[in-house]
Amino acid sequence: NIHSHSLNWTSLPPDNPRLPSLPCGCYGQAMVKIVEGREDGAGHSFAIAISRFNKPVSDGLLEGALHTLARSGVRDEDITVYWVPGAFELPMACRWLAETSRFEGVIALGAVIRGETHHYEHICHQATRGILDAGAATDVPIALGVLTCETAELARTRSAPGPDNKG
């Protein structure tokens, strides 16, 4: 969906660094194109790579993702769920799933909860960066649904049924 909106930049001073460069160096009316994805997933296939570590939280994220996909018209038979040991394994699983050409999108789900060591920072960084790299390398969209929480309570809240579920 492409929408055009008229924005009036005259209310911003000309030396404002946030002011976009407009054609002809003029200020005034500009037409901005806004591109939005459709929420219709009917006829598309998806893979979900999900971490077994922190399984109660992952289970909640999975329920949230399945609910969202169903609400978008994706049929159950067009969704395949792959469990991996932990968040560190998600990037490799996502890349492999994307490279199979069987799926039009991949969803990465899991939770990393801060503990008493620096392990949290390493896993969070490698998981998120690896998932980003997998999507860039394959040109298959990969949705990041990996929670990085300070406490188990925060992770449970973000994976509980309802509108705050991040799955």
Kindly name the residue from 67, 119, 122, 125 that is annotated as catalytic: 119
* Whether the Cβ atoms of residue 106 and residue 143 lie closer than 8 Å to each other: yes
Residue 67 annotated in active site? no
- Which residues on neighbouring strands pair with residue 3, listed in sequence order? 34
> How far is Cα 62 from Cα 52, in angstroms, rounded to an integer?
11
* Strands 105-113 and 142-149, bridge-based pairing: parallel
* Whether the Cβ atoms of residue 36 and residue 1 lie closer than 8 Å to each other: yes
- The residues carrying an active-site annotation are 119
